[in-house]
A and B are shown apart, each in its own frame.
Chain A
C-alpha cells in the first residue's frame, strides 16, 4: 500500500526514508536513528529505507543507521518501503525532480537547501505539494541553533530596541584543495549553481537575515562577487553584499559576507539595535550582548564587560564539553527535524513555512542576480 492510499492518521512512528547518502546525510540519519546528541529519541520515526545510486553507500548507510532496506532506485524505494516522509539530500539540481516524485507518491518531503535553484521553481514545487496534500520543507537548520534562538529571544525582548543593522559573516576555506569544494579533480555539483559555491550559503544568509529583520523590503542593494583565489572551477569565492531596506520600525542595513581566505572558520552574526547590540558565532558558540544594564548609563559599559567576560568563560567550558560530546554546529538541524516530526505526527504545519521558504528563495534570487553587482 502506497503512503497516499493509507488513512491519514498521524500517529508516531512515521515511516521515513532518505534519498542521498552524502556527508549531510549523517546528520539526518543520526536523528532518524534516534542517536542525536542533542535530542532524546522520542520514537517519532521509523527509518524504513535509504537510497543512493551507489550500492555500497546505500548499504553502508542502511547498516550503520539501522534502516530497513537499502535501495539504488527512488521509485523502487517509494513503492517497496512506502515512506510517509522522504528526506531529499542529493545535489541541488536534482531536488525538483526527486521531490516531485516523492510528493506524487504521497510522501511529505524534507529537502536540503537550496531546495530549488530559483524561486519560480519553488513556487511550482509548493503547488505540487499542495495539490497532493503533502508538506514540503527546506532545511533552514541554523535558525534552530541554540545560539541563534538566544539572539532571537533577546530581540523579541526588545532590549536591543528596533533593529538597525545586521551583519552576517561566514568564513570557510572552501578553496583549499583538500576541502569538498576545493577539490579540482571532481568538482562538486554545487559549482554548477548560478553563483557557484557561495550560492549554497546564500540560503543561510537569507533565512537568517529575514528572521532577524522581519518583513523588511530591501530596495537598495550592492553586491560584489569575486574570485580572489582565481581557481578555474570556482565562479566566486567571495561575496560582499550590502542591503538597505525599510521596516515598520525604521531603516535597516544588512551586510552579508562570505570569505574563503580568512580564518578561523566563522559563522558570526551581529545585530545592532537602537539600544544595544549582540553578536553570536554559530561555529564556536557564544553570545555577547552590550545592553543598557540596571546600573545606570555610566556603569553599564563596565557591567557589560564584567558580565560578558564571565559568560565568555562559561561558553569556553561549554564548547569544550560540546566538542567532547560531539555536538556540532548541526545541532540546529537535529532540533529542526525534531520539531518537524512533532508537527507531522500532530498534523500541524512544519516549522519552516512555505511563505518563509519563498521569501528566503526570492532574496537569494535577488542577491545572486546581476541587477545589483558592482
Chain B
C-alpha cells in the first residue's frame, strides 16, 4: 500500500480525507476497545476530528502527540443517559462500536442493547443524524443455511435466536434498534457486519475451536474463515462514515459485510499463527462428527426433556453452526459501495499483529509526527 501523508498529524493538509470529502467530526464509542483504538487511529490518519468515548473507569489517556484539536475524549458510560447528549454536541456522525462481549445475558443486554438505546436517544436529542452501526456476522441464521452456501448480506438473519449465545442475541436486538432509528425521517444509517476481527492479542480466536481442559478442540479444519484484520476492518468503518456523509443516496440503509480478500481455511490460518506465536496443543475434531452429535443431542433434549437441558455451546447445533459450518463469503458489496480494498493480506496481517505484540505497539503510536505512511509495514 502506498505511503500516505495523512498519517502525519503535523501535516493534516486541507483537512480533507484521502479520496475526497470533507473532514468529519466523528464520535466513536468503544474507542479504547480492540477494534475501537484501530478505528480511532484510522479516523485521525484520514484527517477527521474524533470524539472518543472512554468509560469512566478507564485509565486511557490520549498520547501527547495527538493534537487536542483533532481528538478529545469524553468519559461516559452508555448504559446511563447522564451526559450523553451533551457529549454529542457538534458531532457529524457516530461510529458505534461499543458492545458487551462477556458476562451473562443481562450484562450483555445492558452493555449492548441498553447502551445503544441510550445512544440513539441522545443522538436524537443532540440532532446527530448519521450512524455507522457495527453489527456482527453472528446475526445470520446459520442453522438453516446449507453447508457450502455463499453467505451475503441478503442471507436471512436469525429470527429465533433463543439457542444462540448471549452475544448473538443481544447484537440482533441491537440491530433492530439500528433499523428502527434508521427508518425515521432524516436519519442516515449504515450497518456493518464484520466477520471475525483478528489482530494483536486476538490471533487465536473462537472460530478455531473450543477449550477442552488443557487441550483445544480444532473443529472443522477445512472451513473457510470469515476473517477481517483489524486494520482492514477499521479502514472499512471509516470509509463507511465518509461515504454515508458524502453519498448518502448510495449507502443509506445498507447492510454491508466486512471480510478480507484472501480468506484462509481454518487449518491454513492455524498453521500461520502457530508458526509465529505460542498456541495451545490441539485435538482435531471433524465437523460432520460434531454436527451429527449436536443434532442428536438437540433432538433428544427436545423429545425427552422438553428442551430444558443445557449443553456446552459446541454441543448446541445453533451455536456450533454459527462458528464452524463450512461456508463461502463475499466482500463484493463492501468494495462496491465503500470503495474498500483491504490493505493487508492474511500473511501480512498475522505478521503485523505478531510484530505489534512483540513491540507492545498501540495503534495511536503510529501517528507520531515523524511517521509517514505505514512505515512499519513488513
On whether the beta carbons of A186 and B309 are closer than 8 Å, the reply is no
CA distance A266 to B128 in the complex (A): 48
Residue numbers in B under 8 Å from A5 (CB-CB): none
On whether the beta carbons of B80 and A326 are closer than 8 Å, the reply is no
CA distance A184 to B57 in the complex (A): 5
Q: Is A295 an interface residue (CB 8 A)?
A: no
Q: Quick one: given A178-B103, A185-B56, are A56 and B173 in contact (CB under 8 Å)? A: yes
Of the residues A23, A55, A185, A324, contact of B310 by C-beta under 8 Å = A324
On whether the beta carbons of A23 and B106 are closer than 8 Å, the reply is yes
Residue numbers in B under 8 Å from A372 (CB-CB): none
B101-151, CB < 8 A from A: 102-107, 109, 113-114, 117
Please report whether the interface of chain A is mostly helix, strand, loop or mixed according to DSSP: loop
Residue numbers in A under 8 Å from B77 (CB-CB): 185-186
Q: Could you mark each residue 148-187 of chain B with 1 if its beta carbon is under 8 Å from any beta carbon of chain A, else 0?
A: 0000000000000010000000000100010000000000
A170-204, CB < 8 A from B: 177-178, 180, 183-186
Closest to A63 in B: B173
A238-258, CB < 8 A from B: none
Residue numbers in B under 8 Å from A55 (CB-CB): 117
A183-231, CB < 8 A from B: 183-186
Residue numbers in B under 8 Å from A177 (CB-CB): 57
Instruction: Give the distance to chain B from A264, nearest Cβ to Cβ, in Å.
Output: 17
Of the residues B105, B106, B177, B310, contact of A56 by C-beta under 8 Å = B177
- Give 30 pairs: A residue, B residue, CB < 8 Å, sorted on A: A23-B106, A23-B107, A26-B105, A37-B308, A56-B113, A56-B114, A56-B117, A56-B173, A56-B177, A57-B109, A57-B113, A60-B109, A60-B113, A60-B173, A177-B57, A180-B107, A185-B55, A185-B57, A185-B58, A185-B77, A185-B79, A186-B56, A186-B77, A186-B80, A324-B310, A324-B311, A325-B309, A325-B310, A326-B308, A326-B309
Of the residues A22, A23, A180, A325, contact of B308 by C-beta under 8 Å = A325
Of the residues B102, B105, B162, B310, contact of A326 by C-beta under 8 Å = B310
Residue numbers in B under 8 Å from A183 (CB-CB): 57
Q: Could you mark each residue 60-97 of chain B with 1 if its beta carbon is under 8 Å from any beta carbon of chain A, else 0?
A: 00000000000000000101100000000000000000
Q: Quick one: given A324-B309, A325-B309, are A22 and B106 in contact (CB under 8 Å)? A: yes
On whether the beta carbons of A178 and B102 are closer than 8 Å, the reply is yes
Residue numbers in A under 8 Å from B80 (CB-CB): 186
Most interface-central of A180, A185, A323, A326 (chain B CB within 10 A): A185
Q: Quick one: given A56-B117, A56-B177, A324-B310, are A186 and B79 in contact (CB under 8 Å)? A: yes
